[in-house]
Structure 1
Amino acid sequence: MKFIVVGGGLAGLMATIKIAEKGENVDLISFV
């Protein structure tokens, strides 16, 4: 399964780390 996390704030980074730790594919997208 592939996940896309939109928002690179603290919560977005933590969500990305947790998903990656489970071995899933995850993309982090942040708009500045």
Structure 2
Amino acid sequence: PMIDQTADKFVAGMEGSGVKVALPEIGKAITV
């Protein structure tokens, strides 16, 4: 599938790029 159930592969792919990846918990808001 094009989209995985978890963001693990995406986060691993972004590692070292200098981009901060926010993974909110279900039902919780994040501040950007």
Tell me the TM-score normalized by structure 1: 0.34
Higher relative contact order (CA 8 A, sep 6+): 1
The answer to which structure has the higher strand fraction is: 1
Structure number with the higher helix fraction is 1
When Rg is computed on C-alpha atoms for both structures, the one with the higher figure is 2
